Amino acid sequence: MFIECFTNNGKPYLRLARSVRVTNKAGQKVSQKQPVFNIGPLSRFDDGQPDYVERLKKSFKAGNPLIPALLPYCSEERPVETYRFSIQEGSPDCFGHPKLFSHLLLERILEELGIMNLFASYKGFTKLEYDVYGFFKLLVFGRLLNPASKCATVRQNDDYYEPILKDFNPDNVYDTLSFIAENKDRIIRRMNTNLVKKAGRSPQVIYYDVTNFYFEIEDADEDILDEEGNIIEKGQRKFGVCKEERHQPIVQMGLLMDDDGIPIAIESFPGNTLDHLTLRPALKNSVDDLDFSRFILIADRGICNYINLLHVLDAGNGYIVSKSLLKSPQKEQQWAYKDEGYTVVSPDFKYKSRVMKRTVKDENGNSRTVEEQVVVYWSRRFEERSIAENKKFLDFLEKLVNSPRNFRITALESKKLRKFMKKDYVNEKTGEVMNSSDIKTFIDFDKVKEYRKSMGYYQIVSSELTMPPREIIDKYHGLTQIEDQFRVMKGELETRPIYVRTPEHVDAHLLICMISLVLMRIIQKKIRDLGESDRKDVYWNVGMSGDRIQKALNKWKVDALPDDLYRFMDIDDPDLALILKAFSIDIPLKLYRKAELRTIKTGTEVFK
């Protein structure tokens, strides 16, 4: 077998071929080339050094091909290489300095997402003098592998095999943040375009949810006003309802995610923005113009109102969203609680559905009629969880009824009681301790009874009139995927607290975190597609936890030895081995030369 370089449509390609003897029309035996393995375009593997093709041919003959994918085709009878080198006492080579090698996998994914070409084109257009793509890679790799401040991330430059930046000014990291913020929409669009073209992304459902991230500052940003007091620009770091119950300024972030759990886009909003006000801007900015076929938006009840849902319908898409049963009209609640019409799956689960027409208003105040399927289900597991979560408060209500004079009501308990107060008696003393006997007559215990009865019931509404109710329920439960991504962002990726200050840099920081999450999710999907995943959740398969991926990638290091030889570290780690297998990366038991190390990245398969 031999390697040859041939031209196809004017572009050089590499392939492995062999000579075979065939009989021609004249009955003569002649030699003919037969392709064995199409290696790929030369540009993917060329290391930029002279005579690459000749060196590749020699390495293949020697049994140590520069392209690892060729190793199985090497002769099994090739001589085993013996390594000989010496290290003298007192030499710096006595101490090893392993360097991270895993970033080459991450860099290959970025290339397939089109990010490298995007940065290269804009750098040339803007004539930037610093390595903006190098800083970008440092920020993304650092966020995924070893999260730290922006300055500390730049100091990680020497932790990588072949430093990413050379002759740089550390302060340019903040210029890079500005560049990322300015080109945020282009970066998101480029990633999504390549995921559609190369990974075949065409989501049947898109999940949306909102979380927030806090800043370790005391005061919120002030709005910028004109001379007449009108808001010119809203402050971004505002006090709002913090998901982590911190009394610190926050920023809201809306995340859109496909049915593989891979983020589509993020949008940031001032911390005091209500959740339901974030959906339409997020869709308009990031999804409406993408080349997606019809999808179903799935979100929770805190985000969706009919103004938002009409926007989804008008774009030709559908929705599945939860809706508060306690806030529904009394007739709808009565229908939900009646036993008639339920399909009983087991003693622990039942459901029923019906199609209803509603008159609602759009964003212009015009009345519209929508037809939707209403699905209500009862789950014993959901009921038990609700009771457990509210046990302390339910016990408190019971004590209030049975022995109101034996305890006192705190301000927190008074706040919880508000939704059970009779409308005729509104007590505004929420900031002080009050005697329970003064409160009891204000409580509407019919509302308490309804509240207790609602536990275990859940209501979902959908534009999909013919979709089976069980399928609607199952699709809605997939929303747990996006909640898991929030946990990863706040856990492994350490998105908060946010230390950058300006709105542009906050946007850039969140985008960097999102891109890091995209890389992690692609790795998880590749592991899942192997069929060897060890974690299977009820609604989706994560492949491998983010924490384990992070630890495994940090073990993938290479150590320099004398005579230009390199040795991989911990390559037999089970998690790392699974990641390498997912990307068809084969690391034979041998020492490597620098040229061989380069081919590992070029031969990595991201999207088949």
Task: Give the pairing type, strands 296-299 and 263-270.
Answer: unpaired
Residue range 35-74, pLDDT digits in tens: 878 888 888 888 888 888 888 888 887 777 888 778 777 7
* Percent share of the chain, pLDDT over 90: 33
Structural contact between residues 556 and 570, judged by C-beta atoms closer than 8 angstroms:
yes
Residue 429's pLDDT band (cuts 50, 70, 90): low
CA–CA separation, 508 and 588 (whole Å): 40
150: tokens are 């922006």
Q: Range with the lowest mean pLDDT among 138-152, 167-181, 247-261?
A: 247-261
Q: Residues 157-175: what's their mean pLDDT?
A: 92
421 token code pair: 């107060």
Residue 409 scores a pLDDT above 70: no
The pLDDT-based confidence of 90 (bands split at 50, 70, 90) is: confident
**Please, which pLDDT band fits residue 285 given cuts at 50, 70 and 90?**
confident
> Which of the two residues, 531 and 98, has the higher pLDDT score?
98
Look-up of token digits 């289900």 = 377
pLDDT digits (tens, 9 = 90+) for 570-581: 988 999 999 998
Distances from the Cα of 568 to the Cα of 101, 422, 576, 595, angstroms: 9, 71, 12, 15
> What does DSSP say about strands 231-233 and 224-225: parallel, antiparallel, or unpaired?
antiparallel
pLDDT at residue 71 in the model = 77
pLDDT at residue 543 in the model: 78
- When pLDDT is averaged across residues 364-391 and rounded to a whole number, the result is 88
Alpha-carbon span 457 to 579, nearest angstrom: 41
Instruction: Print burial letters for 328-364: b (CB count within 10 Å at least 16), e (below 16).
Output: beeebbebbeeeeebeeeeeebbbbbeeeeeeeeeee
Strand order of the sheet with strand 367-379?
263-270, 250-257, 205-214, 296-299, 318-322, 457-462, 367-379, 349-361, 343-346
Task: Report helix, strand and coil shares of the chain as percent, to nearest 5.
Answer: 40, 20, 35
- Tracing tokens 């999207």 back to the chain, one arrives at 607
**Does 291 score more than 90 pLDDT?**
no
Cβ neighbours for 570, distance < 8 A, ≥ 6 positions apart = 555, 556, 557, 576
Among residues 276, 280, 271, which one has the least CA distance to residue 244?
271
Each residue of 373-385: pLDDT tens digit? 999 999 998 888 8
**Is residue 8 very low, low, confident or very high in pLDDT (cuts 50, 70, 90)?**
confident
Buried b (16+ CB within 10 A) or exposed e, 393-414: ebebbeebeeebeeeebeeebb
Residue type, 429: K
Q: For residue 425, is pLDDT > 50?
A: no
Please count the other Cβ atoms lying within 10 Å of the Cβ belonging to residue 431.
Answer: 8
- Where does the pLDDT of residue 219 fall: very low under 50, low under 70, confident under 90, or very high at 90 and above? confident
* Straight-line distance from the first to the last Cα atom of the chain, in angstroms, rounded to the nearest whole number: 26
SS (H, E, C) 99-138: EECCHHHHHHHHHHCCHHHHHHHHHHHHCCCCCHHHHHHH
- pLDDT tens for 485-526 read 888 888 888 888 888 888 899 999 999 999 999 999 999 999
Confidence of residue 533 (pLDDT cuts 50, 70, 90): low
Q: Is 22 helix (H, G, I), strand (E, B) or coil?
A: strand
Range picked from 33-42, 380-389, 402-411, 561-570 for highest mean pLDDT: 561-570
- Helix residue spans in 410-490 (DSSP H): 411-417, 445-454, 469-477, 480-490
Q: Residue 187 belongs to what H/E stretch?
A: helix 184-199
Burial class (CB in 10 A: 0-12, 13-18, 19+), 38: exposed
Sign of CA dihedral 252, 256, 262, 263: negative
Q: Model confidence over 442-477: pLDDT tens digits? A: 566 667 677 777 788 889 999 999 999 999 999 998
Residue scoring higher pLDDT (307 or 28): 307
Lowest mean pLDDT among 17-21, 184-188, 460-464, 587-591: 17-21
The token pair at 103 is 């970033």
Tokens of 340: 């008639």
> How much is the mean pLDDT over the chain?
83
Q: 522 or 217: whose pLDDT is higher? A: 522
Q: What is the pLDDT, as a whole number, of residue 412?
A: 58
Answer for the pair 22, 30: CB distance below 8 angstroms, yes or no.
yes
Tell me: pLDDT of 108 over 60.
Answer: yes
CA 522 – CA 201 distance, rounded (Å): 12
Residue 221 pLDDT > 60: yes
Res. 101 pLDDT band, cuts 50 70 90: very high
| Average pLDDT value for residue range 416-422 | 56
pLDDT band at 104 (very low <50, low <70, confident <90, very high): very high
Specify whether the CB–CB gap between 86 and 562 falls below 8 A: yes
Q: Residue 513 in 3-state DSSP? A: helix
Under DSSP, is residue 580 helix (H, G, I), strand (E, B) or coil?
A: helix
CA distance linking residue 440 with residue 453, whole number of Å? 21
**Could you give the angle at the alpha carbon of 90 between the alpha carbons of 89 and 96, nearest 5°?**
90
Instruction: Give the C-alpha separation, 167 to 156, whole Å.
Output: 15
Mean pLDDT score, 305-318: 91
Q: What is the pLDDT confidence band of residue 406, given thresholds at 50, 70 and 90?
A: low
Q: What number of other Cβ atoms are within 10 A of residue 303's Cβ?
A: 21
Average of per-residue pLDDT across 247-253 = 88
pLDDT value of residue 110: 94
**Tokens matching residue 131:** 């390595």
d(CA 265, CA 263) in angstroms, rounded, equals 6
* pLDDT score, position 538: 35
pLDDT at position 297 over 90: yes
Q: Is the confidence at residue 391, as pLDDT, over 50? A: yes
Neighbours of 502 (CB within 10 A): 14
Residues in the chain: 608
| Unique residue bearing structure tokens 């520069």 | 66
Counting residues of the chain whose pLDDT is more than 70, the rounded percentage is 88
Q: Which two tokens stand for residue 190?
A: 């480029």
Helix axes 503-530, 103-112, angle to 10 degrees: 100
Name the helix (H) or strand (E) containing 7. strand 2-8
What is the structure's pLDDT at 327? 85
